[in-house]
Amino acid sequence: MGKEIKKAVIIVNLLKPEAEALVDDITAYLDERKIQNEVFGYSGAPITPDIKEADIAFALGGDGTVLFSARTLACFEIPVLAVNMGNFGFITEVSKDEWKDTFEDYHAGRLKLSKRLMLKAAVIRNGKKIKELHSLNDSVISAYGISKMIRLSVQLNGTHLGKYRADGVLVSTPTGSTAYSAAAGGPLLEPEMDAVLLNPICPFSLSNRPLVIPADKKIKIFVEQEQRAEVMLTVDGQTVFPLVPEDVVEFERAPEKALIISSDKRNFYEILRTKLKWSGGPDA
C-alpha cells in the first residue's frame, strides 16, 4: 500500500561535495509532483531546525547527518531517507544516485521502515535531573583529553556491577555497535535488536568486558568523587555535557524510535562485508 506524502524536509550537510546540486535535484523532483518541501542546510555544527510536521525527511551527508536528523525527528515519528554523499555508511546505505528509486519505492509501499532503538540519558546532580539527552548511536562518559583514566561505578537495575577505572564507559544502541563501540572492542549487533551494549573503554582491569543486556534494563553510572581529570558526557559524538564528581547518569530506552527507510539494494551484512573487508583476501 502506498504512502501519502504531502510534505518533505531536506536536512543537508552543505560541506559535502555536490550537496547543493543534489538538493536542487530533489526539490525540483518534489516540486514537479506538488510535494511541499523545505530545506535546512548547515555547514559545521548543525542548528536544530524548527520541524514539527512532515511525511518524510531526506538526510543528505554521512552518518553524522543521520544521527542529528534522527534525534531531531524521532519524537515526531518522521521517517528518514538517509542519502550518503560519500562512501556507504552503516546507517546511510543509499547512495546519491539511488535516492529517487528509493523514494519512489517507499512512496509506493515497497520498502519497510527500520525502527531503531534510541537511548535516553538523564544527568542527576544533587538528586535533581539537570539534563536529558537522546542518542541513536551511543553515549560516552570519559575524560576531557586523551590517555586520562577516570573512576566510575556502574549499576544495572539496582545491582552493583563494579567499579571501573578506565578511559571511560560507553553505552551503545545496536545501531551504534558498528561505531565507537566496535573500535573499543565491542560486538556487532543487528541494528533492530532490542538490546543495549555496555562497553568499558581501555579498562585498567582486563576482567571488565563488554556486556549486551536487554533494552528494558536501567543502567546507572556514578561519577566517583576521586578524579584526576575532568569528566564529560558525549552523545552521538556531537553533543558534550560536562559532569562533576558525584553526578549520576541514568540510561534507559527512549520512548521514541528512529524511523529509517531501508534500502533493498544491500542489507546490513553486505554493508559489514564491504566496510570491514570480509573478503578473505590480504586486506581483510
Q: Are 192 and 174 in contact (CB under 8 A)?
A: yes
Sign of CA dihedral 132, 137, 141, 143: negative
Distance CA 258, CA 79 (A): 8
Residue 53 pLDDT more than 70? yes
pTM for the structure as a whole: 0.90
Per the annotation, the verdict on 105 as an active-site residue is no
pLDDT the model gives residue 279: 66
Model confidence band, residue 1 (pLDDT cutoffs 50, 70, 90): low
Catalytic one of 24, 50, 63, 101 = 63
Q: What is the DSSP string of 127-145?
A: TEEEEEEEESSEEEEEESS
Q: What mean pLDDT comes out for the span 77-95?
A: 82
Annotated binding site for NAD(+): 63-64, 137-138, 148, 165, 167, 238
pLDDT per residue over 5-35, tens digit each? 999 999 999 988 899 999 999 999 999 999 9
pLDDT tens by residue, 231-261: 999 999 999 999 999 999 999 999 999 999 9
Helix (H) or strand (E) holding 250: strand 248-261
Q: Can you read off the three cell numbers belonging to residue 179?
A: 561505531
How does pLDDT run across 172-223, given as a tens digit for each residue?
999 999 999 999 999 999 999 999 999 999 888 777 789 999 999 999 999 9
Domain ranges of the chain: 7-112+262-275, 119-255
Write out the binding residues: 63-64, 137-138, 148, 165, 167, 238
Q: Which amino acid is at 253?
A: R
The average confidence (pLDDT) of the chain is 91
CATH fold group of domain 7-112+262-275: Rossmann fold (3.40.50)
Residue with more model confidence, 270 or 247: 247
Give the burial class of 14: count Cβ atoms within 10 A of its Cβ; 0-12 exposed, 13-18 middle, 19 or more buried: middle
The reported pLDDT for the residue numbered 46 is: 78
Q: Residues 65-80: what's their mean pLDDT?
A: 93
For the residues 50-75, what does the mean pLDDT come to? 91
**What is the predicted pLDDT for the residue at 282?**
53
Is the Cβ–Cβ distance between 266 and 94 less than 8 Å? no
At residue 79, the pLDDT reads: 96
pLDDT digits (tens, 9 = 90+) for 97-110: 999 999 999 999 99
- pLDDT bin (cut points 50, 70, 90) of residue 281 is low
Q: Which of 98, 105, 97 is nearest to 79 (CA)?
A: 105
pLDDT of the residue at 59: 95
**99-102: long-range contacts at Cβ-Cβ below 8 A with a sequence spacing of 24 or more?**
99/22, 99/26, 99/58, 100/29, 102/261, 102/263, 102/265
Is the pLDDT confidence value at 151 over 60? Answer: yes
Check whether domain 119-255 has CATH 2.60.200.30, yes or no: yes
Q: Do domains 7-112+262-275 and 119-255 have the same CATH topology?
A: no
